[in-house]
Chain A
Amino acid sequence: MCGPVITIRTQRSLVVIYLIINRSNFDLTTNMAAPTREGTANDVLDVRQFLEGWAGLVGNSQLQKHEDDDQEAKIANDMSISREMVEELASVCSTDTLLCGSEPEEGNLTAFPEVNLLTVRCQEESVQKRENDNIFRTKVSRKMRYKYVQTLAPPCQSEGSIECPIKIPEVLLNVKIFRPLYSKKKQTFLDQEFQVIGSNTLTDLRDKYSCVADFSVPGEFSEDPDMPQDNRAKDLFKSGFFFIEGTFYNDMRYDDCRDYSKVIIDWAKEKERGLGPYTSAKMETTRFVDLKLRLGQPYVYLHQGECEHLVVFSDLRLHGADDPQDAKAYPLLVHKSKPRRQLCIACQTMTARWIVHGSPLAPEDPSHFCDVCFKMLHYDKNKKKLVEFKAFPFLDKTAVF
Chain B
Amino acid sequence: MVKERVYTPLAGVLVDMQSFVEEFTATESVRYEQFAEIWREKKMSLIFCGRQTERELKEFTEDMFSVVLQYLGSSQTFQVQVAGLFLLYGLYHTQPLKPKAKVRVTREQFQSILQFHREVKNQGHLDVDYVFQKLKIQRAFDFVANAHPCDILQATHTADDDLNKDSLPVEKSVVSEILQPDNIAQLATIHEQYVEMKCRLAGRDRPDTALDVIQPDIVQYLTRAVASHEEWRKTGKRLQKKDGGITSESEAESDVEHPKPSVCHGRKRASIRERAFSKTAEPSRGRRHRRATVHNGTEQSPTKSPPKKRGRKSSRVESMEEQEVLRVPTVNLREEMRSVILNMPRLSGEEKVSKRGKKSKTESMKNTRKKEIKKAPKEKGQLKEKIAPKGKSKVKLSKSKQCTPEENIPDPH
Contacts and interface: CB of A to CB of B under 8 A. Distances in A.
A57 B130 contact: no
Contact of B166 (A39, A89, A118): A118
Which residue, of A104, A116, A117, A188, has the highest number of chain B Cβ atoms within 10 A? Answer: A117
B150 A296 contact: yes
Interface string A35-70: 111010010010000100110011000100000000
A8 B130 CA distance: 66
A71 B153 CA distance: 43
B143 A317 contact: yes
B154 to A, nearest CB: 6
B33 to A, nearest CB: 7
A148 interface: yes
A58 B143 contact: yes
Given A92-B127, A127-B52, A145 B143 contact: no
Interface in B1-32: 5-13, 15-16, 32
A53 B107 CA distance: 8
Given A117-B12, A136-B6, A314-B150, A109 B58 contact: no
A317 B141 CA distance: 11
A120 B47 contact: yes
Contact of B49 (A62, A71, A109, A318): A109
A89 B54 contact: no
Given A98-B39, A111-B50, A145 B149 contact: yes
A136 B157 CA distance: 18
Interface in B153-167: 153-158, 161, 165-166
A30 interface: no
A337 to B, nearest CB: 13
Contacts of A399: none
A165 B29 CA distance: 46
Contacts of A227: none
Contacts of A102: 43, 46
A118 B15 contact: yes
B278 to A, nearest CB: 39
A78 B49 contact: no
A122 B143 CA distance: 31
A320 interface: yes
Contacts of A295: 145-146, 149-150
Nearest to B97: A149
B330 to A, nearest CB: 40
A143 B154 contact: yes
B136 interface: yes
A104 B49 contact: yes
A296 B7 contact: no
Given A119-B15, A174-B149, 13 more contacts: A35-B150, A35-B151, A37-B156, A62-B139, A75-B134, A92-B33, A93-B89, A95-B93, A95-B94, A98-B45, A103-B94, A127-B52, A140-B6
Interface of B: 5-13, 15-16, 32-33, 36, 39-40, 42-52, 54-59, 89-90, 93-94, 96, 99, 102, 104, 107, 110-111, 114, 126-127, 129-131, 133-134, 136-137, 139, 142-146, 148-158, 161, 165-166, 168
16 contacts: A26-B152, A42-B150, A75-B130, A85-B126, A93-B36, A98-B40, A98-B44, A109-B57, A111-B49, A117-B12, A117-B42, A117-B44, A122-B12, A312-B152, A315-B145, A317-B145
